[in-house]
Copies of this chain bind each other. A is one copy, B any other.
Amino acid sequence: MSEPKTKTITAAVLVIGDEILSGRTKDKNIGYIADYLSAIGIDLSEVRIVPDVQDDIVAALDALRHRYTYVFTTGGIGPTHDDITADAVAKAFGVELYEDQRIIDILLQRLKPEDLNEARRRMARIPVGGTLVENPMSRIPGFRIGNVIVMAGVPTIMQAMLDSAAKDLETGTRMIIENFDAHDLPEGAYAQDLGALAERFPDVSIGSYPSMVDGKFRNQIVARCKDAGQLEGARVEINAMIARLTAERK
């Protein structure tokens, strides 16, 4: 057996928030995190969106954190009663929450001591064993415990926290991606050949993605692989297939 040439690191995203499920807020974090992780060599493998219900959050955390290298949560870490992510994460890990003095200090830099009320102190509660995830955007940090990284839901703040968390993440081999425009070929015209081609390249993930532009289908083929050599083999064959089928239809 030779050493594997590629390394795979996986992740899941857990979006916590009634406001996404009700339609009030349109999620902008999933697509951002998907792009971000792809770029640094982490394979996003599953996403779940759950409501602000502790049992649901704990169940999702437990399902995801045992299966994937990392779990990124977004939402539910503010000062209000519906912000229950820290409690849920602590419960999933079977630990208590403590009040982190570093976060209290950050809060006191912007608040008068008499304004540091119980609700605001909630934002300083971190599960025992957790480490802080810096937030250059609005200062109050997220946290990481084990393989779970807990971030804010507000996109600009989430993005700042993701930058901070990424410094300590193990990353794998980046997926290399080739896009192919199928031009006027309908999916049904190349589906059979593409399926046979995909079987010849089992380590290359090959997909066909239709979209509608001005009422007409426009199809793209995408090939993804961590090994440049295998991807190159598939690339040559896909281009040849598109050229051949396009010529046949003329």
Contacts and interface: CB of A to CB of B under 8 A. Distances in A.
A222 B24 contact: yes
A46 B198 CA distance: 33
Contact of A34 (B22, B52, B115, B122): B22
Contacts of A45: 21, 51
A21 B34 contact: yes
Contact of A22 (B115, B175, B190, B192): B175
Contacts of A47: 15, 20-21, 47-49
Interface string A20-38: 1111111100110011111
A31 B22 contact: no
B31 A208 contact: no
Contact of A187 (B35, B44, B78, B191): B78
A30 B44 contact: no
Given A78-B210, A208-B82, A46 B38 contact: no
A137 B123 CA distance: 48
A49 B175 CA distance: 19
A62 interface: no
Interface string A154-196: 1011000000000000000001010000000001111110110
A69 to B, nearest CB: 14
A2 interface: no
A44 to B, nearest CB: 5
Contact of A120 (B18, B27, B48, B191): B191
Contacts of A115: 188-189
Nearest to A137: B212
A138 B80 CA distance: 46
Contact of A224 (B22, B120, B217): B22
Nearest to A211: B154
A117 interface: yes
Nearest to A81: B195
B19 A222 contact: yes
B24 A49 contact: no
Contact of A119 (B117, B188, B211): B188
A27 B20 contact: no
A46 B64 CA distance: 15
Interface string A123-152: 100000000000001100000000000000
Contacts of A54: none
A96 to B, nearest CB: 21
